[in-house]
Structure 1
Amino acid sequence: MEPFMVARRAFVALSLAALALAACGQKPAASSSASDTLTVAATAIPHAEVLEFIKPKLAAQGLKIEIKVFNDYVQPNTQVAEKRIDVSYFETLPYLETFNRDKGTHLVPIKGIHIEPMGLYSAKLKSVAEIPQGATVAIPNDASTEGRALLLLSRNGVITLKDPTNALSSLKDIVDNPKGLKFKELEGATLPRVLGQVDLAIINTNYALDAKLNPTKDALLIEDSKSPYVNYLVGRLDNKDDPRVQKLAAALTTPEVRAFMQQKYEGAVVPAF
């Protein structure tokens, strides 16, 4: 074989070996980057605020969290189910169960973090005693949150439900409506914006806080601290035991987070741990 051909083959072999080594050297970096970052879907208040509070502590432990803020309750779960986001932190167990049933997903609760007592608000009335005949009440239109709103009215004697323990009660389950209330079913995020256009509105605390309402002062009725509607960190079957997810769950349930919630939200957000 001519010296030129030998040299050329040696050069090609060395080049391929270098490329292989480079490729091998690149893989651990990509894997390391992915394993050190966790994406979390959340609504702005209080969920994203709580996550921002623990973000530096997690970073010191070697875990970076990337917070994706949403203003609705559908896209966070959709993107977690599609594996575009790792976990979500915004929802109650009844909502999660309804979402899984309706969307055919298999998301799982990982850890209960806090309760946001739902409240009844009005820009026109100062008390429940002032509710006039035929008053218009705006309520959330998703099944689990609508049921929760109706239970709040039922437990306070405003209406009577067929089964006062059914978390998925709907308007058709009202058996007594002495005030002749007229209900408007609207998307939860819009309820603070229509408060001036209706007599009453039952609003999720995260949306109430975002609209600068103070649940413990402004609500005519509010759930007590025994509310079963705990907000969960939620993931998938394939990542619920991921060490990064478990590290996040542990960070969300520390005494420091408890103190942060109690001080910042003054009863509008109640630790569930």
Structure 2
Amino acid sequence: MKKLLLTAILASIVALLAACGGSDEAEEGLLEDGKLKVGVTAGPHEEILEKVSELAEEEGLEIEIVSFSDYVMPNVSLSEGELDLNSFQTEPFFDHMNEERDLGLIKVADTVTFPMGIYSEKITDLSELEDGAQIALPGDPTNSGRALLLFEQAGLIKLEEGLGVNATVNDIVENPNNYEFIELDSAQIPRQLGEVDIAAINSNFAMDSGLSPKDDSIFIEQDSTFVNLIAVREENKDDEALKQFIEIYQSDEVKTFVEESFSGSVVPGW
């Protein structure tokens, strides 16, 4: 009987110690290595995060910025634990990739909006487009659909109704001027702008290549609902460091920085 009682007491002590250890680990959370590792795409997202990092440092929060040149790896890296969070994408793109790849990520906050624009090195007005003109657009699913909605908004085509960002070039129901649509990697489109007649370019890549969405686009998205977001792994959604990061990002200081730095080409979306 004494032996059984002693065994039970020892088991209780082990369980208590394990629980205490687990609590310490949970408290460390995303700051287990002392800093937040945040993924962004190069350009405005990175510039904004540099401002956030500067403000965070004043509050004792260290941020390591990891910059990417594409839209796929920031989510893959986050899902695999190489990042603590990321800030670079619109919700339709996030939803599509998260579901398609079963990444286990969730949205936790809104950030900024980048209106998509139409650019050209050959014409200054869409009325100058000739029959059969070549039109470049992003090749990834949601940005492709977004670009097609932009072309429809500009009066170039008509799409099958009700598809929204899920539209593809196969869903064009009216193309009276026989435009040729060429899907390219989003980041490469600015470099290939001279090889087509017009192109839809995401503002972060446009600005990264020296183009101003406000001044250089010949048509720009109207009343965009494509707000960018902050994403994390689901298990970290209540992390205290994450809450601190969001509070800093959505502060008046960052809002002023965005408005003064990008002159309407990037708009606070929170």
TM-score (norm 1): 0.86
Match of 2:14 in 1: none
Q: Is the 8 A contact 1:110 1:240 kept in 2?
A: yes
* Structure 1 residue 55: Cα displacement: 1.2
Identity %: 36
Match of 1:253 in 2: 250
* Structure 1 residue 48: Cα displacement: 1.0
Gaps in structure 1 of 5+ consecutive residues: 1-23
Query: After TM superposition, what 4+ stretches of structure 1 lie above 4 angstroms from structure 2?
Result: none
- Please give the per-residue CA displacement for 1:70-117, whole angstroms capped at 9, x wherever unaligned: 000011000100111110100000000110122121211111111000
What does residue range 91-170 of structure 1 map to in structure 2 within 5 Å?
91-163=89-161, 166-170=164-168
Rg (Cα) greater in structure: 1
Amino acid at match of 1:207: F
1:268 aligned to 217, 242, 265, which one? 265
Range moving further from structure 2, 254-263 or 32-41: 32-41
Match of 1:53 in 2: 51
1:39 aligned to 37, 40, 45, which one? 37
TM-score (norm 2): 0.87
Q: Is the 8 A contact 1:151 1:164 kept in 2?
A: no
- Please give the per-residue CA displacement for 1:109-152, whole angstroms capped at 9, x wherever unaligned: 11111100000000000101101100001100000000000000
Q: How many residues align?
A: 245
2:231 aligned to 214, 229, 234, which one? 234
CA root-mean-square deviation = 1.7
SS at 1:83 equivalent: coil
Q: Is the 8 A contact 1:155 1:164 kept in 2?
A: no
What does residue range 165-204 of structure 1 map to in structure 2 within 5 Å?
166-204=164-202
Q: Give distance in 2, aligned partners of 1:104 and 1:237.
A: 12
Amino acid at match of 2:256: A
Range moving further from structure 2, 75-84 or 103-112: 103-112
Gaps in structure 2 of 5+ consecutive residues: 1-20
Is structure 2 residue 270 aligned with structure 1 residue 244? Answer: no
